[in-house]
Amino acid sequence: MTYCIGIKLDTGLVFASDSRTHAGVDNFARFCKMTVFERAGDRVIALLSSGNLAGTQAVISVLKQRNAKDDAPNLWRAESMFDAAMLVADAMRDVDRRDGQHLAASAISFNASFILGGQIAGEAPRLFRIYTQGNFIEASLETPYFQTGETKYGKPIIDRVITRSTCLNDAAKCVLVSFDSTMCSNLSVGMPIDLICYQSDSFEVRMRRRFDEGDAYFSALGKQWTEGTRQVFSRLPNLDW
C-alpha cells in the first residue's frame, strides 16, 4: 500500500509520500514515491506515485525520456499545469497500451495513479489527482487536498486542521501527524517519509525533508501529539448516563 497527500493552500503547496512497497507481507521494500521536476525561476512540478510499482516507474521513466527530447511535448515545455497533467495521463496510457493486455492475462490491471502539483511561470500553483484511467480532477476552494493509497487513518486530522488559510509550516506538521496516525494503525505504510513545502511564486523547492526511522523531530512530534491528545481527552466532560 501507499500513503500520499498533496495540499493546496493560499500560500503554496505541500506534498508528502511514504516509501513502502509490498507484494505480500514477506516481500516489502523501500522506494521513493516522490518525483520533482524543478527549473529554478520557471517551474516546480511534483508527482506522487501510487499503485503497482512497475507501472508508476514506467510512467516516470517515459516522462523523463520525453523531457530529454526537444522535439515533442514534455514537462519542461508544458505551458500550464493542466498541460502537465495531460502529459502524465498520456504517459500512463502509453504504458497501459504496452503492458495492459499482458497484465490482463494474469487478471491484473494497470493501476498507477498520481497526485500532481506545482507551478509553472505565468499561472498560480495548481494541484491535480490523476486516476488510473488518465482522467483527472483539480483541487478547488472547497476541497484543497487529495490523498491516495491508505487514506482513511490519516484523514480525520487533516479534516479537523487544514483549511486553505493554514500556513505551510502548520500544514507540514499536520501532514506528519497524519502519517504518524496512519503508521500507528497500519503496517502497509512505512518510512522514510518524503515531504516538500512549495511557497507560491518561489519557483524552487526551498523546504524539503526526508524522515527516516528514528528521526528525532518526527519521533518528538508523534510523542507530543499522543500526550497532548490524551490530555485533551482527559479534560472532555464526563457522560451523564
Residues binding a second copy (CB under 8 A): 152-157, 159-161, 169-170, 172-174, 176-177, 181-182, 184-186, 197, 206-209, 217, 220-221, 224-226, 228-241
The nearer residue to a second copy, 124 or 167, going by C-beta atoms, is: 167
DSSP classification of residue 174: H
SS3 24: coil
Least distance (Å) between residue 76 CB and a second copy: 26
Least distance (Å) between residue 185 CB and a second copy: 5
**Cα separations in angstroms, 66 against 83, 165, 185:** 14, 37, 40
* Side-by-side strand order, sheet with 207-211: 145-149, 3-9, 12-17, 193-199, 207-211
The nearer residue to a second copy, 69 or 230, going by C-beta atoms, is: 230
Least distance (Å) between residue 82 CB and a second copy: 29
The nearer residue to a second copy, 124 or 187, going by C-beta atoms, is: 187
Least distance (Å) between residue 9 CB and a second copy: 15
The nearer residue to a second copy, 7 or 197, going by C-beta atoms, is: 197
The nearer residue to a second copy, 140 or 169, going by C-beta atoms, is: 169
81-108 in b/e form (b: 16+ CB < 10 A) is beebbbbbbbbbeebbeebeeebeeeee
Q: For residue 132, what is its C-alpha cell? A: 488510473
The nearer residue to a second copy, 12 or 134, going by C-beta atoms, is: 12
Least distance (Å) between residue 236 CB and a second copy: 5
Residue owning grid cell 496512519: 182
Cβ 195 vs Cβ 6: under 8 Å? no
Spatial separation of the C-alpha atoms in residues 150 and 190, rounded to whole Å? 11
Spatial separation of the C-alpha atoms in residues 170 and 124, rounded to whole Å? 21
Least distance (Å) between residue 162 CB and a second copy: 10
